[in-house]
Structure 1
């Protein structure tokens, strides 16, 4: 982070150079001295400093300037840096104006010209201003900043994207002072949110995920034209395949549409994963796996939507939504599954405005002392309930069955039973959502009797079922009736190999109906839906890929 700034503004070039020279001589090793020749250029410099997340300690402005005098400039500067100390440079004849400025616009001090010798007339004043500023400085903003509205779905989407990609950011509301100052500095209004400010001061108004990824340091384009292995999907299975593929010398690229980790990456705590007796959050596990894959030389591409898979002799071609493609000897399909959308009136309109699919852990601190409703009875829902119970006054779990035993691990059931502010509501489903701009009320129904009741809440998190992310494959590989990819023995029908199979061998255990294309994790038909098994299948796929490549 650069040193805090001392900004001077004076339309007289000789005076401007003199004050800047004297300030640099005394403070140049600790502060940046920024010089401007008018109020307008000074404000433009302040806006740039604001957008870069840097600090301004002291402002020195000449009183007699055309177009915008020193008092007017300091008034405007206060909107951007309210904690900066303000000094007015005046001639003796303007003393009364300077005193009025102290009383009316909160100027901290005035200095008479000339200020020679500076050791007696300039430095003591600036020293006292710097002491006062250091006592209450504005925090530097070295991380990404996001300005948005509390119940804005686009604002939530930006925050969720950054959080799931492990990009630190600071969240600021557009209707609060600092958020308003950043919008002003960027020349935007509250209608232009979400506003993203990168660590180098770049401003992005309502950015696409691809633009956002590029400007926060994520990689979106491949460095090679051809790879040994393309892994599609960066959940546990994909990360496992990338780690083992890259560590064993395969030119490996990992392609992800949104963020690493998949559903597991959204989990607040995974307690039954081998080697973590005290549990580990999905984000922590994802970060370790991602760093491990990168250390071994795998590439990670984000915001790349796969839309097609083709076979071309011994190569496999993966096509993207933007018209580009990437080729490789082999492919691992590890796209995982997504939560099913809940079909009830009002939910679509309120998604991202109080209705969320998955844990949306970024929202947990906002749920303090409020009622939270969770739909679902599997492990992901249970982990979310335990997590939100730390913030909410009460967590209500709505399940269609009579209890949790048939769908949730016993360790989680025991935890839920031991937490006083979690209530499980059996035989309950959401029949409707209501609210003006954000969720305010739910209609809950008993599916047996049809009886309904309304409950007040601003928070609904949905964890129901899973649909494989395989629609983009079309007929490239065979899938079961639910859309999961068929592999290995499941492709054989009465001992016959799948249609179009050209090799003189049966498909390998994790191999799909297209030779050289493997499936791992939740996307594979009849797989065990657990993090450990997904990682294991990712590693196993790489072992089978070596056998495939050796036979080519």
Structure 2
């Protein structure tokens, strides 16, 4: 074994190959300033290297293996051994040119089940940036989810178990901003206290070049960090805030972001209003593996931030922390009005992309522990706190499956609780395969959570079999509730017709008595002229990220036709 040790606490990359160990070390030399490189020539040698690195107090960020090893015919079995030692390390298979095509069929099925993260051709020359792009993507994902940031944007100081502090931290995480949390009596807490009055409450949010904030909600922080006075002044100079915009998009999930990108790129003045973090429910997904164009997967946060930056490039204005509480539909060509606590915005057209929210479990003992071990949504910012703990995920959709797979990188055990007889009815096959393969994840079908408790925070849950009524109490340090979807439509007027579940009706689903001149609205148009709907909030939508993105793009031609009917 050979070592390159840049710093005593630097994370490590383990390179495993019987034939190409030196070549891999040379190829990965560019990472040696930030990572300790450890080479090994066999599966057993790599196990020893990993154990030594862990004994040194190092984290292992990635294991890179040749597609064949001298002491293990099946490299996937080798990954199984290494995964037991470092479950959160990223796993990469590289094959030399002469074996790349021959080894691919037997290995790619393992990638679909989550046994490793990527299968790449070993570089044959200098500056193989496609290879290193894949490596840096995986390392970036590991750094974001598995380590505390070296440089932070903001510091959050609050007593342990503060619900608002947890919500603010999750908001920052979803917005792609590294933060650090601390208790009031810590060194960081005392330093931050110097910027606040002595009687200031908690949580306290402090950042360089920002006004200190005592947060009562996520909205306070969103307004402070993403809706500055300078940005509002710029809007007023453009005539956006005080005038009438072409398109107002309510909601910053995949549908709203796609609408913003396509509308702004075609010259329409576009504003996106969102009460919380950009990305919607999709923004909480740890890894979306079936989104077109991302063969190695992409986290919901990164997908949302890339889309936001793309929309900004075309001139979209984002108002984060602006919760729309009322829509007044325009009549006879008048603009629509969107109102909140302290704003009013006029728009020639409105796209409703406010998405859905997770349903409440409705168990009082569980609701009492929200923020203290119980979480609605994935809350990926809490993953590291689940290390070596027992975790329960409730839900049978893709979001629940993605959360379980991610949490299994840290938790001792993850139990998925679902009322249905199987996951395959509601979850994508690739996720079902990953879950079946992962030894840390178990599935309790025909089961529900009926009770929970603990001394100040969650310590246990009670599971009930829905058919037999049998109840079992089991330890749980974290409970993540991803319980289907309820539309967020309470702010809509009666002009916008909804179905019995509250989802917005569009196109031919709109009742015939609301059709104009005997013709139904366009496919994504609502019963209110000039008001459209896209994504999960729309009745009959597919409830998938790609489908929501497609609807967001498809609604823009309809908006164009409404704004300039003579041009179509």
The TM-score, its normalising length taken from structure 1, stands at 0.70
Say if 2:246 and 2:268, in contact at 8 Å, map to a contact too: yes
- 1:214 to partner: Cα distance: 3.3
Counterpart in the other structure of 2:490:
471
Q: 1:213 is paired with a residue of what secondary structure? A: helix
Q: Determine the structure 1 residue equivalent to 2:175.
A: 165
1:538 CA drift (Å): 0.6
Shift of 1:505: 4.7
Q: Given the alignment of the two structures, is residue 531 of structure 1 paired with residue 541 of structure 2, yes or no?
A: no
Instruction: Determine the C-alpha separation between the residues in 2 that align with 1:229 and 1:510.
Output: 15
Contact 2:215 2:221 in 1 (8 A): no
Alignment of 1:104-253 (within 5 A): 143-183=153-193, 186-188=196-198, 192-200=201-209, 202-218=211-227, 221=232, 223=236, 224=240, 225-253=243-271
Structure 2 length normalisation: TM-score? 0.69
Q: Which residue of 2 aligns with 1:16?
A: none
Q: Distance in 2 between matches of 1:199 and 1:140?
A: 15
- CA–CA distance in structure 1, aligned partners of residues 458 and 175 of structure 2: 27
SS in structure 2 at match of 1:472: coil
Partner of 2:424: 405
Q: Give the RMSD, CA atoms, in angstroms.
A: 2.1
Separation in structure 1 between the aligned mates of residue 378 and residue 537 of structure 2, nearest angstrom: 20
Corresponding position: 1:544 with 2:553: no
* 1:198 Cα offset (Å): 1.5
* 1:471 match: secondary structure: coil
**Match of residue 367 from structure 2:** 348
The answer to whether the aligner puts 1:308 opposite 2:336 as a matched pair is no
1:283 aligns with 2:301: yes
2:83 match: none
Partner residue of 1:266 out of 280, 284, 292: 284
- C-alpha displacement of 1:431: 0.4
- Superposition pairs for residues 419-498 of structure 1, below 5 Å? 419-493=438-512, 498=513
**Match for residue 5 of structure 1?**
none
Residue equivalent to 2:383: 364
What pairs up with 1:17-56 in 2 under 5 angstroms?
A: none
| Kept in 1: contact 2:152–2:178 (CA 8 A) | no
Structure 2 Cα separation of the partners of residues 316 and 503 of structure 1: 22
Q: Shift of the alpha carbon at 1:176?
A: 3.1
Cα deviation per residue 1:509-531 (whole Å; 9 max; x = unaligned)? 11000011110011111011111
> CA separation of 1:201/1:318 partners in 2, compared to 1, >3 Å: closer, same or farther?
closer
| In structure 2, C-alpha distance between the alignment counterparts of 1:476 and 1:166, rounded to whole Å | 37
Q: Equivalent residue for 1:100?
A: none
Q: Please identify the structure whose Cα radius of gyration is greater.
A: 1
- After superposition, what is the alpha-carbon deviation per residue over 1:57-81, rounded to whole angstroms, capped at 9, x for unaligned? xxxxxxxxxxxxxxxxxxxxxxxxx
Offset at residue 175 of structure 1 (A): 4.1
Could you tell which deviates more after superposition, 244-253 or 321-330? 321-330
8 Å Cα contact 2:195-2:212 kept in structure 1: no
CA displacement at 1:171 relative to structure 2:
1.8
Q: Distance in 2 between matches of 1:465 and 1:510?
A: 23
**Cα distance 1:182–1:548, how it changes in 2: closer, same or farther (>3 A)?**
closer
Give the Cα–Cα distance (whole angstroms) in 2 for the partners of residues 474 and 547 of structure 1: 23
Query: What is the Cα deviation at residue 283 of structure 1?
Result: 0.5
CA drift of 1:304 comes to: 1.1
CA contact (8 A) 2:223 2:321 kept: no
Match of 1:19 in 2: none
In 2, Cα distance between equivalents of 1:289 and 1:279: 15
Verify the 8 A CA contact 1:345 1:431 in the aligned structure 2.
no
Q: Name structure 1 gaps, 5 residues minimum.
A: 1-138
- Say if 1:146 and 1:169, in contact at 8 Å, map to a contact too: yes
Q: CA deviation at 1:143?
A: 1.9
Stretches of 4+ aligned residues off by more than 4 angstroms: 139-142, 219-222, 501-505
Deviation at 1:456, TM superposition (A): 1.7
Shift of 1:298: 0.6
Cα distance, 1:383 vs structure 2: 0.3
By how many angstroms is 1:158 displaced? 1.5
- Alignment partner, residue 256 of structure 1: 274
Distance 1:323 1:205 in 2: 19
Contact residue 198 and residue 216 of structure 1 kept, 8 A:
no
The answer to whether the Cα contact below 8 Å between 1:310 and 1:317 also exists between their aligned partners in 2 is yes
The reply to whether residue 416 of structure 1 matches residue 432 of structure 2 is no
Displacement of 1:436 in angstroms is: 3.0
In 1, distance between residues paired with 2:210 and 2:491? Answer: 37
CA distance in 2, matches of 1:309, 1:321: 9
For this pair of structures, how many residues does the alignment match?
Answer: 408
Distance 1:382 1:389 in 2: 11
